[in-house]
Structure 1
Amino acid sequence: MIYLTRQAVTLTAVWLLCMCVTGRHASSLNNRPIIGILAQDTRSSYGSTYIPVTYVKYLQQAGARVVPIRGNQPEEYYKEMVAFTNGILLPGGAVSFATSQFARSAKFVWDMALKMNSAGDYYPIWGTCMGFQIMCNLTVGVNLLRPTDSNNASWPIDFSPDYSQSRLFKNAPTDVIEYLTTEPVTQNQHSYSILTKVFESSKLSSFFTKLSTNKDRKGTEFISTVEAKKYPFYGVQWHPEKSSFNWNPNYVINHDAHAVAVGQYMANFFVSEARKSAHHFPSVKMEATNLIQNYKKVYFSDGTFFENYYFD
Structure 2
Amino acid sequence: MTLNIIESLIISSLLFTLSSCHEGPVIGILTEELLHSLQNQYPNYTSYIAASYVKAIEGSGARVAPILIGQSEAYYRKQISVLNGIVFPGGACLFDNPNGYADAGATIFKIAKEVNKNGDYFPILGVCLGFELLLHLANGGNELRTRCSSENVGLPLKFVPGFRNSRLYGQASIEILSILSSLSVTSNHHRYCITPKNMTRTGLDKEWKILSLNMDKNGLIFVSSIESIDMPFVGIQFHPEKNSYEWKKSQNNPHSRKAVLSARHFYDWIANEASKNEHSYPSESDKTNALIENYSVFYTGKQGASYEEVYLFK
TM-score of the superposition, structure 2-length normalised? 0.88
Structure 1 residue 63: Cα displacement: 0.5
Checking the alignment, whether the CA contact within 8 Å between 1:227 and 1:234 is kept in structure 2 is yes
- Residues 1:215 and 1:153: Cα distance change in structure 2 (over 3 Å): same
Structure 1 residue 296: Cα displacement: 2.0
Which secondary structure does the structure 2 equivalent of 1:163 belong to? coil
| Worse overlay, 179-188 or 42-51 | 42-51
Cα distance in structure 2, aligned partners of 1:68 and 1:203: 33
Q: Among 62, 65, 69, which residue is 1:64 paired with?
A: 62
Q: Among 24, 27, 34, which residue is 2:26 paired with?
A: 34
Q: Which residue is 1:302 aligned to?
A: 303
The equivalences for 1:196-235 within 5 A come to: 196-235=196-235
Structure 1 residue 200: Cα displacement: 2.2
Q: Which residue is 2:125 aligned to?
A: 126
Deviations 1:274-306 (A, max 9, x none): 000110000100100010111121002235562
Q: Which residue is 1:91 aligned to?
A: 89
The equivalences for 1:174-213 within 5 A come to: 174-213=174-213
Which secondary structure does the structure 2 equivalent of 1:187 belong to? strand
Cα distance in structure 2, aligned partners of 1:274 and 1:79: 17
Q: Which residue is 1:54 aligned to?
A: 52
Structure 1 residue 162: Cα displacement: 0.6
| Worse overlay, 173-182 or 122-131 | 173-182
Cα distance in structure 1, aligned partners of 2:197 and 2:72: 38
Structure 1 residue 232: Cα displacement: 0.4
The equivalences for 1:106-121 within 5 A come to: 106-121=105-120
Kindly indicate whether residue 275 of structure 2 is the aligned counterpart of residue 275 of structure 1: yes
Kindly provide the amino acid, as one letter, of the partner of residue 308 in structure 1: V
Which secondary structure does the structure 2 equivalent of 1:250 belong to? helix
The percent identity for this pair of structures is: 34
Kindly provide the amino acid, as one letter, of the partner of residue 210 in structure 2: K
Which secondary structure does the structure 2 equivalent of 1:164 belong to? coil
Cα distance in structure 2, aligned partners of 1:200 and 1:248: 37
Kindly provide the amino acid, as one letter, of the partner of residue 106 in structure 1: G
In structure 2, list runs of 5 or more residues that go unmatched: 1-19
Cα distance in structure 1, aligned partners of 2:106 and 2:125: 14
Structure 1 residue 29: Cα displacement: 8.8
Cα distance in structure 2, aligned partners of 1:131 and 1:221: 19
Structure 1 residue 249: Cα displacement: 1.1
In structure 1, list runs of 5 or more residues that go unmatched: 1-27
TM-score of the superposition, structure 1-length normalised? 0.89
Q: Which residue is 2:15 aligned to?
A: none
Kindly provide the amino acid, as one letter, of the partner of residue 128 in structure 2: C
The equivalences for 1:225-304 within 5 A come to: 225-300=225-300, 301-302=302-303
- Residues 1:31 and 1:209: Cα distance change in structure 2 (over 3 Å): farther
Q: Which residue is 1:24 aligned to?
A: none
Which secondary structure does the structure 1 equivalent of 2:170 belong to? coil
Aligned residues: 285
Cα distance in structure 1, aligned partners of 2:243 and 2:217: 21
- Residues 1:289 and 1:253: Cα distance change in structure 2 (over 3 Å): same
Cα distance in structure 1, aligned partners of 2:21 and 2:81: 17
Q: Which residue is 1:19 aligned to?
A: none
Structure 1 residue 204: Cα displacement: 1.6
Deviations 1:57-101 (A, max 9, x none): 110000100110011112211111111100110000011111251
CA RMSD of aligned residues (A): 1.4
Cα distance in structure 1, aligned partners of 2:22 and 2:191: 38
Flag as ranges the 4+ runs of structure 1 deviating above 4 A.
28-31
